[in-house]
Amino acid sequence: MIKCPLCNSKETTIHARAKDIEYFTSDREFDIRACKPCGILFVDPMLSDKLGDIYPANYYSFKVTKRNFVVAVKEWLDRRGLKALTRQIPGRDLSVLDIGGGTGWLLDQVKTADSRVSHTTVVDIDDGARDVAISKGHDFHLSRFEDFDAGDRKFDLILMLNLVEHVTDPRAVLSKAASLLSPKGLIWVKTPNFDSLDARLFRNHSWAGYHTPRHFVIFNRDSLERTARESGLAVANFDYTQGAPFWSISIFDTLRRIGVVQASADKPAIYHPVTPLLQAGAAAFDFARKPFGARLSQMVLTLKRRP
């Protein structure tokens, strides 16, 4: 019996089977398993010892993002969210850590959003992102976050956007982040939600939120908030946000399978010219549904240290 990576329970069942429909790093079909006691999904097997294989050189966070309308809107939304976050943090100088931050593109938005940001650090496994990040003025550590040594530095804001689903032990990662947080600091987490409309529609068609095989653990709201509390953190705010990346790649793969579009390891779906159009339509659809209480396919948490 396959054990849950979070609670070690043997009460796990197959939720779905999925392939890599984005970067085609393998032809293998992976099991997406559900743990009944802790309410998570996880991929089996977890290829944590093959990160160099499952994260190809053309992986999206390793690349400098090309400007287009969708990217511009996303950056505007990021800046608005970051400004609302940093406004809650007192102090004349702020230190910000982005875990899995690649070239530091999000830290660029933080600096634009708040002039008090005086120190920025990226922790990432991509050696190719180092020079770009450093050229932008960010401190760069080529390391898994689990192995990162911050010395005596504490951070006023820690960014974990689309990160906790990529690690084998999210609780340990959140606990370490909590230990690096300044007393009045905040952690901003964004991660997929498997309790969403697109996750149900594409459940048995390699839903892009599985991001197979790179998403190791996937949460819903209950399991995510519980894991945060078990990591020594308090939930300051929770929200759902648009899941355009998951909708667009899921729809793109449907079109690919019927022969309308093409993608390959050399030319992933994310870089196809039709993808920004699918993203724009999906984002508009999710924004239209959100006021009616829709559980969208990405969750955003603001976390703080427990008193």
Beta-bridge partners for 305: 233
CA 224 remoteness from chain centre: 13
- This prediction's pTM: 0.92
Cα separation, 243 vs 231, whole angstroms: 26
Query: How high is the pLDDT of residue 57?
Result: 87
The closest of 62, 40, 41 to 51, measured between CA atoms, is 62
Cα separation, 223 vs 225, whole angstroms: 6
* Exposure on the CB side of residue 237, measured as CA atoms within 13 A: 14
The closest of 146, 141, 142, 143 to 172, measured between CA atoms, is 146
Cα separation, 282 vs 67, whole angstroms: 19
Beta-bridge partners for 240: 299
Cα separation, 161 vs 164, whole angstroms: 8
CATH class of 12-305: alpha beta
Provide the Cα torsion 176, 177, 180, 185; round to 10°: -150
For the chain, 307 residues long, give each residue's pLDDT as a single digit of tens.
899 999 999 999 999 999 999 999 999 999 999 999 999 999 999 999 999 899 998 888 776 555 566 667 767 777 888 888 999 999 999 999 999 998 999 999 999 999 999 999 999 988 888 999 999 999 999 999 999 999 999 999 999 999 999 999 999 999 999 999 999 999 999 999 999 999 999 999 999 999 999 999 999 999 999 999 999 999 999 999 999 999 999 999 999 999 999 999 999 999 999 999 999 999 999 999 999 999 999 999 999 998 7
